[in-house]
Amino acid sequence: MIRPVPGPAFLGGCAVSTWLDTASPADPVGALLIGHVPLRRRGESPAAVETALLGMADAMALRPAAEPLTGIGARLLVHGAVTALDYGHPVHALRLPSPGPIWRDHVVRGGPVCVTVGLDPLPPGAGPDAVDAYLHRTVATGRAYRGTTALRLHPGAAPLSPPARGADLDDVSPAPVSCEGCGTGHGVAETYLHANSGPGWEFPLCGPCAASPPADVLRGLQEHVEWGTGARGET
């Protein structure tokens, strides 16, 4: 079965965590975990989400986590402040939200990074304990795929290159997103909406929808808040 590699619209629903595994202090290993947030976006079914995640795993030649770790080539791109993963899409790279200076330093020095794609829903911004539990569970149940990667060197590349064109994997420009409220691609920005009952959430919204969030966006916000509260109760 050939599964397509998902594009930027799908990446917008992915949760990404990075940390440094120092279980062996002399040989630290960078960790990079990719999953999909629990929210179902319009037209996204759990089966479609799983197929897209497996498409990413296929494109990077990840293996089931129960098997010995294998190398998947140098896939990490570091340009100035931007860190991204070439996840096998012909044009787009997955921009890592906040890898942190220690993780980036590890990568820039050529340290290995273990990439894991998990098929179970993963909360964005999950804490270390929640991520640890997630990894143990998905590995034990055969719901995780892994491989080892490292920095891809760009001889001669400028520290902050302009967005690349065509099928250049240097393209680490932010993925184009559409407004969650009305679907427009113009003037969309990540907008924090504050919930009445707890922490809020970020949504890609255009100006008018940010000023007056439509009902289904507010419903999504409520779902996120309820879900986030439940997740905290588990840990």
Residue whose entry in the numeric block shows the structure tokens 């959430």: 201
Which of 6, 13 has the CB closer to Zn ion?
Answer: 13
Q: What is the CA radius of gyration of the chain?
A: 18
Shortest CB 130 distance to Zn ion, Å: 32
Residues β-bridged to residue 18: 32
Q: Which of 6, 13, 99, 181 binds Zn ion (CB under 5 A)?
A: 181
Phi-psi region of 21 (alpha: psi -120 to 50; beta: other; left: phi over 0): beta
Which of 175, 231 has the CB closer to Zn ion?
Answer: 175
Which of 21, 216 has the CB closer to Zn ion?
Answer: 216
Shortest CB 1 distance to Zn ion, Å: 36
Are 192 and 23 spatial neighbours (Cβ–Cβ below 8 Å)?
Answer: no
Q: Does 182 bind Zn ion (CB under 5 A)?
A: yes
Q: Does 225 bind Zn ion (CB under 5 A)?
A: no
Q: Which of 209, 217, 221, 225 binds Zn ion (CB under 5 A)?
A: 209
Alpha-carbon distance 105 to 103, whole Å?
A: 5
- Residues contacting 219, CB < 8 A, separation 6+: none
Taking CB under 5 A as the rule, which mask of x and - marks residues 134-173 in contact with Zn ion? ----------------------------------------
Q: How many residues bind Zn ion (CB under 5 A)?
A: 5
- Residues contacting 94, CB < 8 A, separation 6+: 11, 14, 16, 34, 84, 85, 87
Q: Give the residues lining the site for Zn ion (CB under 5 A).
A: 179, 181-182, 206, 209
